[in-house]
Amino acid sequence: MNVTVSMFGLVDKKSQQDGKSRDGVTMREKKGGALSRVQKLKKRLSHSFGRLSISKEDSDHSNRGAKLPFNGYSDEFLDRLEPNGNIPNEKDCRFDWEHEGVRRQLSVSSDSKLLDEDIREEARVILRPKKPPRPKSEVFLNKQAQDPNRRRTKRFSAFGGDSPFGKSDAYVKLEQLGEGSYATVFKGFSNLTNQVVALKEIRLQEEEGAPFTAIREASLLKDLKHSNIVTLHDIVHTRHTLTFVFEYVHTDLSQYMERHPGGLELHNVRLFLFQLLRGLSYCHKRRVLHRDVKPQNLLISEAGELKLADFGLARAKSVPSHTYSHEVVTLWYRPPDVLLGSTEYSTSLDMWGVGCIYVEMITGIPLFPGVRDTYDQLDKIFRILGTPTEETWQGSTHLPGFNLNKLCLYRPQRLGLAIPRLYDIKDGENMASSLLQLNPDKRLGAEEALRHRYFQSLPKKLYELPDEASVLDVEGVHLYPELRISGKT
């Protein structure tokens, strides 16, 4: 029998004449347009994905009007895909591949580029159904519902997600409170909490970025939660500024003493000193050194609560000990070991400043007001406490700054003789002398100072307070009215 090779199989010559075949599809049928829509699509796909051979059952099945399935689903069924690309859950529309006469030979055809746009679209729908849309967060949907034209812009913030914090429009500047070498402090208002806040605005250099002191202050304050340490509420980061949002405290100890010259009420001195030691003890237990204890960095609330502030020079002291810069602490409150060039210091660095502030609150004037340089400052100290020797302070003469050509030799004297008012305070001289020791190893620590007999008159409940509770919460603890106002008694 003569046979002719067609595109889809072998047919005999007689079948060619009749235009019909039991075993395949003839070229005459192709030209005559008798193929169903499904067969045409299969033929088109064969150009790109290999050959498809159609069996007799398939041809008969087609003649009966049945739809040939693709990927296990009928053509009609695929037209009813849901908008998100999901397939309807109807089991009766699923076909079984095992009972169908379709065999595919997957290969990449060289003429796949010849497919027209209709074939590409049909192939895309059949082979790669559209994925359902990604779900959006409930918060985002609610905001979009309120304002459909709202534009979501990228913001620089230390707080992630959709938090209301970290946005500059959440705070309003009211007035400038002060200005430093790298920051300006404003009084502000928070639209989030409806409270007055302090805004410490740090100017950023485009090439240098944020100052290391600002990064250090932020990293330390976020972990220090204590009633006698200023609270950091928020951080706002823009392209040109880095703003720290602090709780607002209306004055500091320096301004408070200026308004009450000649020395403070002795009860208030005791209460301020206790709170200062309480805050420093909390820091020192966590191995954090403030390194800049001075009246300007001690905030005073209207009720009389004292808070440590400005941790720009603070450092976390690690183990083993590292060396630190000796250019720390304002000159008047800098200890003699640091003035002499020592870089091996610990919590005793802060305690010297506490002793200087304690005496200043009593007298109303700085204890060691050096005016020229470090040797002038050392001279002020040694006039009262004496010039150190190897007998009184071992190792002091080997410090880098110890130079007898620039230092005078003084004999030590009692603090009460230099500061007579200390004699009027029970245990006042002993407290001051314990804090103002030339040898840092002999200086009283913060926790030990809190237990000093100088504080015996304060309620015992103060020692039982949790860290974030104020001493003013204890019954009977409050500031007394200051008697000295504008230099008058």
pLDDT 10s digits, 105-125 = 444 444 444 445 555 555 454
Instruction: Say yes or no: 206 and 297 in one domain.
Output: no
Instruction: Say yes or no: 337 and 233 in one domain.
Output: no
Instruction: Say yes or no: 290 and 428 in one domain.
Output: yes
User: Over 90: is that where the pLDDT of 486 sits?
Assistant: no
Residue 88 lies in a domain: no
User: Over 50: is that where the pLDDT of 328 sits?
Assistant: no
Average pLDDT of the segment spanning 436-463: 96
433: left (phi over 0), alpha (psi -120 to 50) or beta: alpha
Query: Of 400, 358, 401, 354, which Cα lies nearest the Cα of 382?
Result: 401
On average, the pLDDT of the chain sits at 75
Q: pLDDT tens-digit profile of 388-418?
A: 999 999 999 999 999 989 999 999 999 999 9
Question: Residue 445: what pLDDT?
Answer: 96
Instruction: Say yes or no: 226 and 288 in one domain.
Output: no
User: Over 60: is that where the pLDDT of 280 sits?
Assistant: yes
Q: CA-to-CA distance for 127 and 235, rounded, in angstroms? A: 51
Contact 361, 333 (CB under 8 A): no
User: Binding site for ATP: what residues are annotated?
Assistant: 200
Residue 133 lies in a domain: no
Residue 92 lies in a domain: no
Q: Which two tokens stand for residue 441?
A: 């190893």
Phi, psi of 3 (to 5 degrees): -125, 155
Q: Which of 156-165, 269-278, 462-471 has the lowest mean pLDDT?
A: 156-165
The residue that leads in pLDDT, 286 or 2, is: 286
Average pLDDT of the segment spanning 85-99: 49
Contact 323, 338 (CB under 8 A): no
Question: Residue 181: what pLDDT?
Answer: 72
Which active-site residues does the annotation give?
A: 292
Question: Residue 204: what pLDDT?
Answer: 83
Q: Which of 82-86, 105-109, 202-206 has the lowest mean pLDDT?
A: 105-109
Please give, one letter per residue, the 3-state secondary structure of 73-117.
Answer: ECHHHHCCCCCCCCCCCCHHHECCHHHCCEEECCCCCCCHHHCCH
Percent of the chain with pLDDT over 90: 47
27: left (phi over 0), alpha (psi -120 to 50) or beta: alpha
CATH number for the domain that contains residue 236 = 3.30.200.20
Q: CA-to-CA distance for 366 and 362, rounded, in angstroms? A: 10
Residue 311 lies in a domain: yes
Q: Provide the domain count of the chain.
A: 2
Out of 247, 274, 298, pick the residue that ends a domain: 247
Q: CA-to-CA distance for 4 and 12, rounded, in angstroms? A: 6
Out of 247, 278, 293, pick the residue that ends a domain: 247
Question: Residue 317: what pLDDT?
Answer: 52
Query: Of 446, 464, 468, which Cα lies nearest the Cα of 247?
Result: 468
CATH number for the domain that contains residue 433 = 1.10.510.10
Q: pLDDT tens-digit profile of 332-364?
A: 999 999 999 998 878 999 999 999 999 999 999
Question: Residue 46: what pLDDT?
Answer: 61
User: Binding site: what residues are annotated?
Assistant: 200
pLDDT bin (cut points 50, 70, 90) of residue 17 is very low
Phi, psi of 308 (to 5 degrees): -70, 135
Phi, psi of 12 (to 5 degrees): -85, 170
Q: CA-to-CA distance for 475 and 465, rounded, in angstroms? A: 12
Q: Give the CA distances from residue 339 to residues 79, 265, 421, in Å, rounded to whole numbers and listed in that order.
A: 86, 32, 28
Q: Which of 131-135, 140-144, 175-179, 267-271 has the lowest mean pLDDT?
A: 140-144
The residue that leads in pLDDT, 209 or 143, is: 209
Question: Residue 166: what pLDDT?
Answer: 72
User: Over 80: is that where the pLDDT of 27 sits?
Assistant: no
Question: Residue 312: what pLDDT?
Answer: 73
Instruction: Say yes or no: 299 and 204 in one domain.
Output: no
In the sheet with 306-308, reading across from the earlier edge strand, the strands are: 251-252, 298-300, 306-308
Residue 69 lies in a domain: no
Contacts 24+ apart (CB under 8 A), 77-81: 78/125, 78/126, 81/125, 81/129, 81/130
**Domain range holding 225?**
170-247
Q: CA-to-CA distance for 387 and 393, rounded, in angstroms? A: 10
Question: Residue 147: what pLDDT?
Answer: 53
Tokens 């959440």, residue located: 170
Query: Of 302, 359, 347, 350, which Cα lies nearest the Cα of 330?
Result: 350
CB-CB neighbours of 280 under 10 Å: 27
The residue that leads in pLDDT, 291 or 61, is: 291
Query: Of 314, 162, 154, 178, which Cα lies nearest the Cα of 237?
Result: 154
Instruction: Say yes or no: 347 and 397 in one domain.
Output: yes
